Structure 1
Amino acid sequence: MTRSPATPLPSPKERRRLREAHALTRARLAERVGVRPGRVRAWESGRRTPRGRKREAYAQLLAGLARAPRDDGAWLTPAEAFDALYSFCAPALLRQTYLLSGRRDRARESVERAFQLAWDRWPEVARDPDPAGWVRAAAHECALSPWHRFRRRYRQPEPPPPRQDDRTLLDALLRLPPPYRRTLLLYDGVGLGLPETAAETEATTRAAAGRLMHARDTVAARLPELSDPRELHQRLAELASTGRLRAAEPPAVRRGSERRARFWTRSAIAFTAALIGTTALTLHTSPTRYEPPVPPGETVQGVPPRMAPGPLSEDQRKLRAKLRKQLPGGPERLLPQAR
């Protein structure tokens, strides 16, 4: 969706490192897909192409990712196909999620989380007609999640862009409701058609058109020079390029996904074991036969109430005093004396 300056191909040392990490360089990706390296560079920079050529390039890319053989004649492994998809989509997704969230750290986290989900469900993603759209939808949902407001690391504001125009445009975008912001980004930034934008935002075409017009009017009210959609697209690309975002390496994303999957698997096993132990303890300590409950007490009729003892007489007081004066033990206490 954004335009960035063309970057040269990686150095031979970097290409060797990528090959060892089972990643694909731009030249190898172009060879797999069957296009020129310049076309891959245009994809990575988000340069707009006619819709027919773009769809054709997409079809070639997806066919190359899923079914293209390697140089030695073997088929691409899942890791190699995932690395190719990551190399193709991650730079543009970082810029898109930055425009959606306004934070660089949340953009990186959203993209990594989306690709971790894709690696967890790779058989499903690999068979999807549009794997790039699958990952893009997951990244956008993660970037716009309302739960981020409760995290302490996101309560501190991030340094704004250096230019005043970029700060005004980013502030206008962040003031839009999330569905309107996402619709504007998909249509004017990514270049999707209105039906595709409506389908990805889970809205009708009429609702998506209304959101798009409202978002354009809101941005144009703050920046009148952006009333032209082409100028708006150019400014969105320039704003996204100021983030200076760098994606993580594909093997690191795959390892993070696998660590998360192992953690949740072990947590589920521990919870199941604790539940089984609690159930076994309950069965062991619970009674094995029926014990009827104790009936409540009933009032007995005809019995006189218990009376408290009255005051002592003179003889009783003398006897009590005499007993207290005697030794606590001895025959005087045990053997009565006859008078």
Structure 2
Amino acid sequence: MTRTPETPLPSPKECRRLREAQSLSQADVAAALGVTRATVRSWENGRTTPRGTNRDAYVRLLTGAQKVTPHQENPAPALVGAATGPVQASPDRAEPAPEPPSETPPASELAPEPDPELGPDPAPGPEPELGSELSPEAEPEPLSPSLTPDQAFDALYAFCAPALVRQTYLLTGRRELARESVECAFQLAWYRWPEVAMDRDPAGWVRATAHEFALSPWHRLRPRHRNPEPPPAAPADRALLDVLLQLPPVYRRTLLLYDGVGLDLPETAAETEASTPAAANRLLHAREAVATRLPELAEPKELHRRLAEVASAERLHAAKPTTVRWGGEQRARHWTRAAIAFTVVLIGATTLTLRTAPDHYEPPLAPGATVHGVPPRVAPGPLSAEQLALRAKLKGETVSGPERLVPEAG
């Protein structure tokens, strides 16, 4: 029995290019083929390859034989901005909307993601009712090479910064620290822009940097950090923020990324530098702590909605991208000049040491060796009259005998 040859499949990089040429996201391809977004991502990364009917349908879709209409929904700007990739760089391309988050029971959060090679892909879970408020992470689209670095950075900043400031505020409860953390993260991103621009998820890179800066324990040593900021005006918002700030920082960050931003469990674990079971345990404990203080937020959907409301209620405005870029460049110049000054001082100290230090080895003198260069002993000088009289008196007396020991009356 002969085996039917498989349909030729382009390389993973070419598959991604063909998909982007049709303005399709990975979610669109997954919906058209009846597979998960993770399966399409593994195909484009080269970890797996489609087989059977999926392979034929995938090739037809990439070559344009099968037409797919991209989604046109726009996510609401609550906390979603920093979770998704940047907006499309090409003006003539339609922006594919990210998928709405699927609600997963806590028991299934500990299970790893199924491998596409082991069997058919599972059907996607039911969509939540509040998916328009916060959407999960979509596959980030690469920045267009036609944009200049300044334009690409401004596009990323305009898309991510407003939502990222709100996320950081929920992490710290401090408005100024949230703005400062986001600005420092984007300044570092601008300083390392070639690396960030080529990153698979630039928004995730900036988000992780901002969260780590905001949760740094060194802020407690700053005088400004010792004075608490005014809490939210609404009592419900104040109560929720108080519960969040009482959680350990890693638990708070895990809860925000999963229930606030909408990342899935493996991505949350990767961003918090933990294993997937550890991230699941942190999430369950954080939810339990919130539900103990606020029973009405026991449902993840309600907690998801309340986090978005608390973040959106504050008037948190990010600085302009030009200001952030200028601040980053000024900081880079400052540290460059400081490094040059330190190098000059180090070179000067080294030169002075080389000029004043001995240029040859001088062995120490061995014990018992003749020492040269010692001046001769000087002979005593002439005696005075008193010394001469004393010497004559001593010579005139008896050399030995008791007479020298018996005192005489004066």
**TM-score after normalising by structure 1:** 0.71
Q: What amino acid is aligned across from residue 211 of structure 2 in structure 1?
A: H
Equivalent position SS for 2:144: helix
**Aligned counterpart, 1:7:** none
Counterpart check, 1:282 vs 2:353: yes
Structure 2: 5+ residue stretches without partners: 1-74, 79-86, 101-130, 370-385, 391-410
**Deviation for aligned residue 1:146:** 0.6
8 Å CA contact retained: 1:2, 1:95:
no
Q: Is 2:48 aligned against 1:48?
A: no
1:199 and 2:273 aligned: no
The aligned runs of 1:113-152 (5 Å cut-off) are: 113-152=184-223
Q: Equivalent residue for 2:236? A: 165
> What is the rounded CA distance, in whole Å, between the counterparts of 1:163 and 1:185 in structure 2?
20
- Residue 94 of structure 2 is matched in structure 1 by 34
Amino acid in the other structure paired with 1:148: H
Q: How does 1:295-314 map to 2 (within 5 A)?
A: none
Give the match for residue 163 of structure 2: 92
- 1:66 and 2:141 matched: no
Inter-CA distance 46–199: structure 2 relative to 1 (3 Å threshold): farther
Tell me which residue corresponds to 1:321.
none
State the AA in 2 paired with 1:77. T
Q: 2:112 corresponds to which residue?
A: none
CA distance in 1: counterparts of 2:307 and 2:243, whole angstroms: 12
Give 1:292 deviation, angstroms.
Answer: 3.5
SS of corresponding position for 1:159: coil
Query: What are the superposed Cα offsets for residues 154-190 of structure 1, whole Å, 9 maximum, x if unpaired?
Result: 1100001111111111111011111100000000000
Could you tell me which residue of structure 2 aligns to residue 327 of structure 1?
Answer: none
Q: Deviations over 1:107-152 (max 9, x none)?
A: 0000000000100110111111110000000010011011100011
Deviations 1:13-49, CA, capped at 9 Å, x for gaps: xxxxxxxxxxxxx9x978365239xx69x9xx98334
**The residue matched to 2:91 in structure 1 has which SS?**
helix
Give, as a single letter, the amino acid of the residue that structure 2 aligns with 1:114: A
Contact 1:114 1:139 in 2 (8 A): yes
Task: Indicate the structure whose relative CO is greater, using CA pairs within 8 Å and at least 6 residues apart.
Answer: 1
Note closer, same or farther for the CA distance 1:297–1:272 as it changes in structure 2 (3 Å cut).
Answer: farther
Q: CA deviation at 1:92?
A: 0.6
Distance across 1 between alignment mates of 2:228 and 2:262: 30
Query: Which residue of structure 2 aligns with residue 79 of structure 1?
Result: 150
Alignment of structure 1 residues 159-308 onto 2, 5 Å: 159-293=230-364
Q: Which runs of 5 or more residues in structure 1 are unaligned?
A: 5-25, 68-74, 299-311, 317-339
Q: Distance in 2 between matches of 1:284 and 1:232?
A: 70
Letter in 1 for 2:311: A
Answer yes or no: is the 8 Å Cα contact 1:3–1:46 preserved in 2: no
Which amino acid in the other structure matches residue 343 of structure 2? T
Q: CA 1:95–1:265 in structure 2 vs 1: closer, same or farther (change >3 Å)?
A: same
| Matches of 1:212 and 1:32, distance apart in 2 | 41
Aligned equivalents of 1:241, 1:146: Cα separation in 2: 26
CA RMSD of aligned residues (A): 3.0
- Tell me, yes or no, if the aligned pair for 2:90 and 2:144 is still in contact at 8 Å: no
Deviation (angstroms), 1:296 = 8.3
**Residues 140 and 296 of structure 1: is their aligned pair in 2 closer, same or farther, counting only changes over 3 Å?**
farther
TM-score normalised to structure 2 length? 0.59
**Shift, 1:264, TM fit:** 1.0
- 8 Å contact from structure 1 (residues 3, 238) kept in 2: no
Counterparts in 2 of 1:208 and 1:125: CA distance versus 1, 3 Å: same
Change (3 A) 1:198 1:32: farther
Aligned-residue offset at 1:272: 1.0
Kept in 2: contact 1:100–1:143 (CA 8 A)? yes
Q: 1:46 to 1:117 in 2, by over 3 A?
A: farther
Amino acid at match of 1:48: L
Is this contact kept in 1: 2:259–2:303, CA < 8 A? yes
Identify if the C-alpha distance between structure 1 residues 217 and 33 changes in structure 2 by more than 3 Å, giving closer, same or farther: farther
Judging changes above 3 Å, is the alpha-carbon distance between structure 1 residues 182 and 285 closer, same or farther for their aligned structure 2 residues? same
Cα distance in 2 between the residues matched to 1:126 and 1:95: 24
Query: Is 2:133–2:308's contact at 8 Å kept on the other side of the alignment?
Result: no
**Structure 2 Cα separation of the partners of residues 162 and 264 of structure 1:** 41
3-state SS, counterpart of residue 348 of structure 2: helix
CA distance in 2, matches of 1:228, 1:152: 39
Question: Counterpart of 1:103?
Answer: 174
Classify the secondary structure of the residue corresponding to 2:273: coil
